[in-house]
Amino acid sequence: MAELKSNEIKARMQKAIDSLKKDLSGLRAGRASSSMLDQINVNAYGSLMPINQVATVSVPEARLLLVNVWDNSIVAATEKSIRESPLGLNPMVEGNVIRINIPPLSEERRIEITKVAAKYAENSKISVRNIRRDFIENVRKLQKNGEISEDQKHQDEQLIQQITDEIIRDIDTVFSIKEKEILDN
């Protein structure tokens, strides 16, 4: 039973790492990437929509992004969303195409982006800790209901904590790699 539970715990906690990697891929580290804009939502048609649902993002050059907005009526809203995002980008509108030149990062901007990455990593850790709490509460309920012994409860709690520590280390590793990438480029 413990092995099945550990696989379930790892699978749920791994989703936090996957989410962190997706969030970090949107942070720029000196080069243009179409995933940079994935975190941006556009106020279109009365609701917030991800930018990839209202436009095509392409990277024709290393320091240039082109956002081809499908509907001319939401070009201004798309441009505003990009401008107000924490990425610090300055979009230029040309018809239904938005050009975004990616300037080299200043040291100050690199530090700001590193802080955003640290915030993403901390949110992932919080998510992992919430998962840990849920599993520990479940184990304690099982023990209280007499379904498992006190010793089994203690072993399960230790297993949950070991898995949590392992996943937190993985989150720290993912963050360290991204931090180095941001600061070194």
Give the residue among 37, 11, 10, 15 at the shortest CA–CA distance from 123. 15
Q: Which residues pair with 93 in a beta bridge?
A: 98
Q: Do domains 2-24+106-184 and 31-101 have the same CATH topology?
A: no
pLDDT > 70? residue 3 = no
**Residue showing tokens 């997706």:** 22
Q: Tell me the per-residue pLDDT of 114-163, one tens digit each, with 9 for 90 and over.
A: 898 999 999 999 999 999 999 999 999 988 988 888 898 899 999 999 99
Task: Supply the pLDDT for residue 146.
Answer: 87
Share of the chain above pLDDT 70, in %: 95
pLDDT at 28: 64
pLDDT at residue 88, as a whole number: 76
State the average pLDDT over residues 59-68.
87
Residue 66: pLDDT over 50: yes
Per-residue pLDDT at 52 exceeds 60: yes
**pLDDT at res. 1:** 45
Count of CB atoms within 10 A of residue 11's CB? 9
Cα gap 21→17, rounded to integer Å: 6
For 30, left (φ over 0), alpha (ψ -120 to 50), or beta? left
Contact 139, 131 (CB under 8 A): no
| CATH topology classification for 31-101 | Gyrase A; domain 2 (3.30.1360)
Task: Give me the pLDDT at residue 29, please.
Answer: 63
Angle made by CA atoms 96, 64, 46, in degrees to the nearest 5: 40
Q: Per the structure block, which two tokens stand in for 26?
A: 């949107």
Give me the residue spans of the domains in the chain. Answer: 2-24+106-184, 31-101
Do 128 and 13 meet the contact criterion of CB atoms below 8 Å apart? yes
> How far is it, in rounded angstroms, from Cα 116 to Cα 175?
11
When the pLDDT of each residue in the chain is averaged and rounded to a whole number, the result is 87
**What do you get for the CA distance between the two ends of the chain, in Å?**
47
pLDDT at 19 over 70: yes
| One-character DSSP codes across 17-67 | HHHHHHHHHTS-SSS--GGGGTT-EEEETTEEEEGGGTEEEEEEETTEEEE
Which CATH number, 3.40.50.1100, 1.10.132.20, 1.10.3720.10, 2.40.50.100, labels domain 2-24+106-184? Answer: 1.10.132.20
Is 10's pLDDT higher than 70? Answer: yes
pTM for the model stands at 0.68
